[in-house]
Structure 1
Amino acid sequence: MKEEFRGLEQFKIILEDWVPKDASIVIAFKGNYIYYSPSITHIHHKLCEEVHPKSVAAQVLKTHKKTQILMDDFIFGTPYYAIGYPILIEQQEAALVIVLPSTYVPEKQESFKFLTGKQDEDWTPIPIEKVSHIESLQKRTWFYADDEQYKTNVTLKELQLKLPEYFIRIHRSYIINIYFIKCITKDLATNFVVELKNGAELPVSQSYINYLRKYLEF
């Protein structure tokens, strides 16, 4: 870290009082990441020097506003939830970003009680507890309940933030209701596969396996 920015350690000291232990702290300034304090969760991940144009830091520097969003795995190699804040360094605009595990959900988000799905030209509200899993396929989002498939306008990212806690994402394309799990096995390539009670077999990606194992304690 450059000598002139060593004072940024003060941010870490201040933030440690309220930032979760599994959160990382990132600061972007003049188009580059100048500070990175990784948590245990992200200890093995490294940032490139330049700010990624699709990152939360880039959005904060562009809009000058607080930004929070669930991100895919294109920067850290694993999905994550990030909250970015506009700050000033040497009277110039910078971005302070708190990076959290993708399982983090803001406390103020109210969980869905139902999802409204479309079949043909009909729309039907389905109680959320009846939904076995949700899938992203061909740029559309589908959910399954009582052996029926429904289309929804809500994206997986939006769903992950507002689904009840018994839903968990296992893949870039899948979110499952844990109460519909029949078993979790390994295929011939030793990759984990979730078999649901309705017969669906869904792969668990490497990006999400640690969260699944931690959540289900196996």
Structure 2
Amino acid sequence: MTQSESCDDDPQTTQEQILQATYRALHRYGYAGLTIQRIADFTDVSKSSIYYHHEDKDELLLAFLERVLRDVQAGFEIEPEHDPVADLERFLERIFASIDPEPATEALPIGAYVEIRSQAVSNAAYRERVTDIDDALESQFRSLLQQGVEQGVVKDVDVGQVSEYLLTTIVGTLERYATTDEFAVEVVRAELERYLEHRVIA
């Protein structure tokens, strides 16, 4: 999510500033420490203006998750090279790059995302947004794998099952990365590459 220093009274611009400030506040304080005031501190938009656009923190975070969903879809989008295997590898490269502790591009703090994701356990609205994000990622996997099967470069696997496995591995990686002191992302990545080489790629 890119940052902007501009300030405008236009509702869409104000909303964008609020979402960008939410990103920065999450980065600083995490979900548990997030407040409307702390969000306001990261922007020229007043606390009362934030409440004008959003009833409470949960409603704001739901809007933020909608933005995350769009960023996931756009950020992991790749230019097809008509080689499903290469496209799948590049897609996974994009995902693991976002887990890098020192990413080359600004990304949603993983800890904050995991904290928000955990709210889906008891909040149906959060669960719906998180499910949408998962579905977007799984759909990408399904599409690439199906193309590979049709072109004969991917084995005749159950595309749905493989997609579910890949997604679950990625989500589990995010969870462990955010919640444990010692976790080697590169080990998971290497094993995932071996899985694809021996079980999926023809």
Bucket of the pairwise TM-score, normalised by the shorter protein: under 0.3
Instruction: Compare the two structures and name the one with the higher helix fraction.
Output: 2
Instruction: Compare the two structures and name the one with the higher strand fraction.
Output: 1
Q: TM-score, normalised by structure 1?
A: 0.24
Q: TM-score, normalised by structure 2?
A: 0.26
